């Protein structure tokens, strides 16, 4: 598998890799070195690529919220200097493979598989490549917080156009450095004008879509080579135990609100922490702050708030009354599976899409963009999650997701489609 990005971008593919390994395959993941322990501890082979995901996220967030064009140009500044090195590293990882699983972030894997003549299949955790008239690309910002908003185009026409617009904006910004890197690598040929995205769609390449059909149903305009399998969950390691302090805190009062923004670290951490604490104080909620890569910091917390650097979502979320996070696909999947109301504070990329989907399902309030986050808005969202109807909808959705086996369905589709 060819990957890149943050932990949330890598973890679902570790779960998928474990499913393929259980089916008798040898599995190697090509990913940033940050995740070598995560991969190897699960018994999978690992091949390092040159990317510092923390620095990449920091640079994306450094200037605050970005529109799609700004995001594309920042991505070029991050990826262009290492594209040739990445291409060679991906090629080395794939040379002795029987098949290649590529992602939207590791799209170089598709071209390598094509030129090596290897079977290949895409694996996505959001609608990015294959267009649909029934929902927009997950990469297009949703400023209204609603996927059924009213742009100045008919809804189905708009939805279809979002895929072409987002793919070609990103590709045309990256096309020159990507094709230079590919052309400099013996045995590989550059992409056409519309890049890998156009080629994948023209050739009807199979793609595994790793989200729950209970959250985003498979659209009627997708054919059988585009299955929606269910989420690929990687649960905590066997024998994992929380610190005594965390368990004591949970046992000492009513279920708290969990607040954590994963890899969305960067400037403004103190201000973000202060906003969260003021919101908790307004509603009287207890809180658990999950600091992740450093997005929440504060040394002096009140007794009703507990801070922890990391804790597995599959352990924590069933024990809280609501989960607040950035809306990454994996974190959203985990909070919905737990059956608790979800409050999304999107920073960039696909996060506003998943926040809008949570709200559309009635499993959480309307998302609050990071740039518009205030203690007052967050406190109002905390109060909304006490609504009995919202809690019941979240609980029932969690039951449906827990009844699915996305990895097993993905492995079955892998064998059927290849």
| Residue of 38, 28, 161, 192 lying closest to 94 (CA atoms) | 28
380 part of a folded domain: yes
Dump pLDDT digits (tens) for 126-141: 999 999 999 999 988 8
Let me know whether 200 and 253 are in one domain: no
327 part of a folded domain: yes
- Dist. CA 82–CA 59, nearest whole Å: 15
Let me know whether 206 and 294 are in one domain: no
Low-confidence ranges of the chain (pLDDT < 50): 62-64
72 part of a folded domain: yes
Let me know whether 262 and 388 are in one domain: yes
| Residue of 163, 193, 188, 198 lying closest to 176 (CA atoms) | 193
pLDDT confidence of residue 207: 97
Reduced to 3 states, what is the DSSP secondary structure of residue 256?
A: coil
Let me know whether 166 and 225 are in one domain: yes
CATH (domain of 342): 3.40.50.2000
pLDDT confidence of residue 239: 86
Task: Quote the pTM value.
Answer: 0.91
Let me know whether 194 and 77 are in one domain: yes
pLDDT confidence of residue 353: 95
| Residue of 356, 416, 382, 399 lying closest to 140 (CA atoms) | 356
Q: What is the residue range of 293's domain? A: 244-402
Show the CA angle centred on residue 229, arms to residues 225 and 235, nearest 5°. 145
| Contact call for residues 209 and 229 (beta carbons, < 8 A) | yes
Total domain count, the chain? 2
Which DSSP string corresponds to 320-388? SSEEEE---HHHHHHHHHHT--EEE---STTHHHHHHHHHHTTSSPPP--GGG--HHHHHHHHHHTT-H
Dump pLDDT digits (tens) for 395-418: 999 999 999 999 999 999 999 999
Let me know whether 198 and 347 are in one domain: no
Strand partners, 228: 209
Let me know whether 388 and 336 are in one domain: yes
178 part of a folded domain: yes
Which DSSP string corresponds to 51-73? --HHHHHHHHHTT----HHHHHH
66 part of a folded domain: yes
Let me know whether 349 and 411 are in one domain: no
Let me know whether 213 and 299 are in one domain: no
Let me know whether 177 and 266 are in one domain: no
Let me know whether 219 and 135 are in one domain: yes
367 part of a folded domain: yes
Helix (H) / strand (E) element for 101: namely: strand 100-102
410 part of a folded domain: yes
Let me know whether 90 and 218 are in one domain: yes
Q: Show the DSSP H helices in 117-154 as ranges.
A: none
1 part of a folded domain: no
pLDDT confidence of residue 64: 46
């Amino acid at each position: 598998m060819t990957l890149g990005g943050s932990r949330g971008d890598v973890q679902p593919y570790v779960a998928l890799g474990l499913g393929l390994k259980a089916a008798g395959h040898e599995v190697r993941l090509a990913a940033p070195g940050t995740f070598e322990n995560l991969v190897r501890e699960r018994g999978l082979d690992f091949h390092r690529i040159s990317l510092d995901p923390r620095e990449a996220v920091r640079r994306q967030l450094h200037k605050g919220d970005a529109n799609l064009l700004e995001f594309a140009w920042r991505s070029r500044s991050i990826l262009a200097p290492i594209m040739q090195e990445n291409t060679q590293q991906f090629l080395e990882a794939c040379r002795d493979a029987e098949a290649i699983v590529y992602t939207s972030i590791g799209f170089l894997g598709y071209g390598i598989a094509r030129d090596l003549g290897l079977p290949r299949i895409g694996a996505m955790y959001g609608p990015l490549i294959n267009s649909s008239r029934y929902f927009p690309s997950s990469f297009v910002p949703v400023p209204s917080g609603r996927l059924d908003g009213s742009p100045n185009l008919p809804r189905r026409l708009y939805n279809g156009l979002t895929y072409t617009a987002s793919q070609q904006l990103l590709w045309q910004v990256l096309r020159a450095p990507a094709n230079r890197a590919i052309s400099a690598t013996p045995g590989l040929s550059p992409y056409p004008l519309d890049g890998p995205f156009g080629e994948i769609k023209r050739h009807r390449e199979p793609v595994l879509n790793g989200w729950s059909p209970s959250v985003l149903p498979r659209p009627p305009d997708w054919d059988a080579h585009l299955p929606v399998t269910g989420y690929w969950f990687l649960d905590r390691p066997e024998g994992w135990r929380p610190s005594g302090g965390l368990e004591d805190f949970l046992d000492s009062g009513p279920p708290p609100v969990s607040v954590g923004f994963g890899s969305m670290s960067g400037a403004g951490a103190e201000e973000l922490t202060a906003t969260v604490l003021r919101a908790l104080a307004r509603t009287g909620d207890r809180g658990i702050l999950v600091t992740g890569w450093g997005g929440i910091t504060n040394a002096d917390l009140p007794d009703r708030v507990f801070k922890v650097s990391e804790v597995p979502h599959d352990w924590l979320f069933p024990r809280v009354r609501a989960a607040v996070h950035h809306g990454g696909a994996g974190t959203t999947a985990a909070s919905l599976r737990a059956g608790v109301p979800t409050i999304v504070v999107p920073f960039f990329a696909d996060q506003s899409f998943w926040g809008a989907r949570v709200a559309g399902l009635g499993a959480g309030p309307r998302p609050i963009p990071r740039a518009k986050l205030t203690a007052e808005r967050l406190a109002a969202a905390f109060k909304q999650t006490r609504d009995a109807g919202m809690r019941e909808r979240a609980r029932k959705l969690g039951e449906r997701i827990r009844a699915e086996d996305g990895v097993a369905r993905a492995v079955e589709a892998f064998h059927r489609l290849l």
